[in-house]
């Protein structure tokens, strides 16, 4: 298969091109349809909600909805709803919002948020939810490519709000690399934020991104804590120093409940309650609020912007006819805000129910020995799973039962279950003539005791730098921006809470190459032999899958574990260094090549399914890293042009081709000479280096990234032509044999090719 850019562009893998042709769309429309339609795939799930009368319905524990008082809110709306033709059947006061609602919001914010300055209806702009509010503000203050700082971790919907229409950038403010950082407690410290914000601002500026604003969520989403006043003042001071807008999303202001897991929690204090006008120009301070969370009414699609900036409100007004909330719905929320007795009673009842559901879910997790953080202090890494517990007691218990069953089925934490005979994990399996689910190559029996010692035979410590087997905060598959939704917990790993019984287990080391030994944790998996990557045969097994049995699988492989470690490693590279990290990417490709050649994974259905899916996702990650690498090259060259500086390039090999690891002679180091070149020359040389790594150069095609993509594609295509494995679950059989839809593994490979289209100009 050709790897030229022309072939790639013409190939059916160009999903955007297919969308343009099939649906007659513009490029931006096709791109959004292909990669940014986040609600389309959810439609079927949303249309089939669970209820006691619909036991097969879907329970959404991932959406930030509060369903606890839907009946009470619905009754209030029914009693208040009335149609006033002059207000509701005309354009009335226009898209800025009904005067009634703007006045009600102004009074509510003044009283309930303890505003230091008087708020009038002229300071309020009504929007159809905060997604629309953030989009409108971004469109009004940012040009294409401008950035908005947001402290990590943050609500992933901000990517949609800021990117999808306005084409601005979310610039995450990270803390883990700031001196003095110990845990996410530090995210709320003013001094830590001062350093983290300055670091993020300088880094973005160096990369050519113009920062226009800082946005926070207070109370914090997803950490569930409130910022202290001194930190809010630090945020505002930073914005004033750099002439930035400050945006405070306070949509959860009235959803703070008593939590026994927190001692002396910081109460909610609105930005409006502080004397900020002495620190920042009032025109640069904006507060957002809405009906969705506090009033249990996501579907009303009502939010508001507070701002003293008449120019900003005018700019938003110019585009507001495209997203105009009906005045009849606006007056429904106005009625709620005006009835303070009902509102306060509703808020108090809501927070009591939230506390009760919190106790329900934490009791369930403790009872089933599932590690969790009552409040996520300790890490800003991804891989943790959000569970919304405000769905009602019955739905919550049913949803948790489904989660428990899924974990049991996939054995993600089976080693922590006390066997009752229902799950074949101990000696009871043998008495019932069941195959042990821990291992297909050993007789059933009680798992081995985990090694607790941190010392090897030579007395030296074997404990190494601990890592999480989860993706890092950078993106994994969203082709347009950061995303993290496609890679979940590896089946062999469970997050532990500090102080849990197993937190003395061995630390893990990163696999840095295909033959650097076995990660220590593989030996700790009960009933498993020391797993090793298999020698490369270059061929899929010729034996039909239906003729295999467990006795033929002598030893499991380490492929899945290695792939998860590689995902963690490549995801942790928040910033790629030019040109050094080309070696890192090359080593990653070589390691995945070895996994691709494994002859053990394809012997069982679930193993090859996970192998193929994770390989595909890793393939996308590598492609995305090459794209980031090229962008870093371009940014560095542009910065040098603007500064009228030359750049240095190191010539380290004079053999006419890149120096691959297997060419180096033991005990010798290649000579290196620094050469001063112009930014354009440096940029061209770096582009050629990336092209060589992706498309090959000289006689090293077998090492290039495109060769890996082709081989993976060929392997998966061949696998789907084979007979179904005997252990293929019925739910997967139709997907494996369907000729109407492209299998998931091949769809992911297409996505990897599509990512490379972004740097098509250097691959020609």
pLDDT digits (tens, 9 = 90+) for 448-481: 444 433 334 344 333 333 223 233 333 222 323 3
Q: Please state which of the ranges 62-71, 465-474, 594-603, 696-705 shows the lowest mean pLDDT.
A: 465-474
When pLDDT is averaged across residues 659-676 and rounded to a whole number, the result is 51
Peptide bond into 406 cis (omega under 30): no
**Would you place residue 83 in the very low, low, confident or very high pLDDT band (cuts 50, 70, 90)?**
confident
Token match 């192998």: residue? 611
**524, 505 in Cβ contact below 8 A?**
yes
Residues 6+ apart with CB under 8 A from 341: none
* C-alpha distance from residue 270 to each of 113, 150, 245 (Å): 6, 18, 17
**751, 477 in Cβ contact below 8 A?**
yes
Asked whether the predicted pLDDT for residue 489 surpasses 50, the reply is no
**Would you place residue 507 in the very low, low, confident or very high pLDDT band (cuts 50, 70, 90)?**
very low
Q: Please state which of the ranges 249-253, 602-606, 690-694, 720-724 shows the lowest mean pLDDT.
A: 602-606
Annotated domain spans of the chain: 5-35, 70-346, 523-764
pLDDT mean across residues, the chain: 73
Asked whether the predicted pLDDT for residue 362 surpasses 50, the reply is yes
**Would you place residue 133 in the very low, low, confident or very high pLDDT band (cuts 50, 70, 90)?**
very high
Q: Is 70-346 a CATH 3.30.70.150 domain? A: no
- 36 token code pair: 């940014």
When pLDDT is averaged across residues 722-727 and rounded to a whole number, the result is 63
Asked whether the predicted pLDDT for residue 156 surpasses 80, the reply is yes
Asked whether the predicted pLDDT for residue 246 surpasses 70, the reply is yes
746 or 100: which carries more pLDDT confidence?
100
CB atoms within 10 A of CB 638: 14
**584, 629 in Cβ contact below 8 A?**
no
Looking from the CA of 98 toward its CB, the CA atoms found within 13 Å total 23
Asked whether the predicted pLDDT for residue 652 surpasses 80, the reply is no
Backbone angles phi, psi at 319, to 5 degrees: -110, -5
Asked whether the predicted pLDDT for residue 517 surpasses 50, the reply is no
377 or 111: which carries more pLDDT confidence?
111
- 279 token code pair: 């620190």
60 or 132: which carries more pLDDT confidence?
132
90 or 432: which carries more pLDDT confidence?
90
Q: Please state which of the ranges 81-95, 191-205, 568-582, 667-681 shows the lowest mean pLDDT.
A: 667-681
**Would you place residue 417 in the very low, low, confident or very high pLDDT band (cuts 50, 70, 90)?**
very low
Cβ burial, residue 598 (10 Å; 0-12/13-18/19+): buried
Which range of 203-217, 468-482, 745-759 scores highest in mean pLDDT? It is 203-217
Asked whether the predicted pLDDT for residue 302 surpasses 80, the reply is yes
Q: What is the pLDDT of residue 485?
A: 31
Q: What is the pLDDT of residue 189?
A: 94
Residues 6+ apart with CB under 8 A from 157: 131
**671, 654 in Cβ contact below 8 A?**
yes
């Amino acid at each position: 298969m050709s790897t030229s850019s022309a072939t790639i562009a013409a190939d059916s893998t160009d999903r955007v091109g297919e969308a343009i042709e099939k649906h007659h769309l513009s490029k931006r429309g096709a791109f959004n349809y292909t990669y940014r339609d986040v609600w389309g795939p959810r439609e079927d799930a949303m249309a089939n909600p669970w209820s006691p009368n619909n036991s097969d319905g879907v329970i959404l524990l991932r959406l930030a909805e509060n369903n606890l008082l839907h009946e009470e809110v619905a009754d209030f709306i029914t009693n208040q709803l009335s149609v006033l033709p002059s207000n509701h059947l005309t354009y009335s006061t226009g898209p800025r919002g009904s005067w009634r609602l703007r006045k009600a919001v102004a009074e509510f914010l003044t009283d309930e948020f303890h505003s230091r300055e008087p708020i009038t209806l002229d300071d309020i702009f009504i929007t159809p939810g905060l997604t629309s509010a953030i989009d409108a503000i971004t469109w009004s203050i940012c040009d294409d490519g401008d950035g908005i700082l947001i402290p990590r971790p943050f609500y992933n919907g901000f990517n949609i709000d800021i990117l999808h229409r306005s084409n601005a950038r979310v610039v995450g403010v990270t803390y883990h690399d700031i001196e003095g950082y110990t845990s996410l407690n530090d995210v709320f410290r003013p001094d830590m934020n001062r350093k983290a914000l300055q670091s993020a601002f300088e880094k973005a500026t160096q990369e050519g991104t113009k920062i226009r604003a800082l946005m926070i969520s207070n109370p914090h989403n997803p950490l569930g804590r409130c910022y202290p006043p001194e930190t809010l003042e630090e945020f505002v001071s930073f914005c004033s120093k750099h002439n930035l807008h400050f945006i405070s999303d306070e949509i959860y202001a009235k959803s703070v409940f008593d939590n026994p897991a927190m001692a002396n929690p910081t109460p909610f204090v609105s930005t409006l309650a502080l004397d900020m006008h002495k620190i920042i120009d009032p025109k640069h301070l904006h507060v957002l609020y809405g009906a969705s969370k506090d009033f249990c009414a996501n579907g009303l699609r009502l939010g508001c912007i507070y701002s003293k900036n008449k120019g900003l409100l005018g700019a938003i007004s110019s585009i507001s006819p495209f997203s105009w909330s009906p005045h009849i719905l606006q007056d429904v929320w106005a009625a709620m805000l005006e009835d303070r007795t009902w509102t306060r009673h509703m808020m108090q009842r809501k927070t009591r129910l939230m506390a009760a559901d919190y106790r329900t879910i934490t009791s369930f997790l403790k009872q089933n020995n599932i590690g969790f953080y009552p409040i996520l202090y300790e890490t800003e890494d991804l891989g943790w799973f959000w569970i919304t517990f405000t769905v009602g007691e019955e739905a919550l218990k049913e949803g948790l039962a489904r989660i428990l069953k899924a974990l049991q089925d996939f054995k993600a934490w089976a080693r922590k279950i006390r066997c009752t005979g229902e799950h074949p994990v101990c000696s009871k399996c043998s008495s019932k003539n069941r195959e042990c689910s821990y291992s297909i190559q050993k007789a059933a029996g009680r798992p081995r005791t985990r090694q607790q010692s941190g010392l090897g035979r030579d007395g030296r410590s074997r404990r190494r730098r601990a890592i999480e087997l989860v993706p890092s905060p950078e993106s994994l598959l969203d082709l347009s921006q950061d995303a993290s939704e496609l890679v979940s917990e590896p089946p062999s790993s469970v997050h532990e809470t500090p102080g849990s019984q197993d937190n003395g287990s061995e630390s893990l080391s990163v696999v840095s190459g295909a033959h650097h030994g076995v990660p220590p944790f593989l030996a700790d998996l009960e009933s498993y032999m020391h797993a090793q990557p298999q020698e490369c045969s270059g061929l899929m097994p010729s034996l039909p899958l239906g003729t295999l049995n467990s006795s033929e699988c002598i030893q499991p492989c380490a492929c899945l574990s290695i792939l998860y470690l590689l995902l963690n490693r490549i995801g942790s590279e928040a910033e790629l260094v030019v040109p050094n990290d080309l070696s890192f990417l090359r080593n990653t490709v070589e390691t995945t090549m070895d996994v691709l050649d494994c002859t053990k994974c394809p012997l069982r259905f679930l193993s090859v399914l996970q192998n193929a899916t994770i390989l595909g996702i890793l393939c996308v990650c590598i492609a995305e890293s090459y794209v980031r690498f090229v962008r870093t090259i371009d940014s560095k060259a542009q910065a040098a042009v603007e500064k009228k500086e030359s750049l240095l390039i190191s010539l380290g090999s004079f053999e006419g081709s890149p120096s691959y690891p297997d060419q180096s002679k033991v005990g010798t180091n290649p000579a290196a000479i620094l050469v001063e070149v112009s930014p354009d020359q440096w940029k061209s040389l770096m582009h050629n280096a990336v092209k060589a790594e992706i498309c090959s150069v000289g006689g090293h095609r077998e090492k290039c990234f495109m060769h890996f993509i082709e081989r993976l594609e060929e392997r998966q295509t061949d696998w789907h032509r084979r007979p179904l494995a005997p252990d293929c679950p019925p739910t997967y059989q139709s997907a494996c044999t369907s000729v109407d839809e492209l299998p998931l593994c091949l769809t992911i490979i297409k996505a990897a090719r599509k990512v490379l289209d972004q740097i098509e100009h250097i691959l020609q």
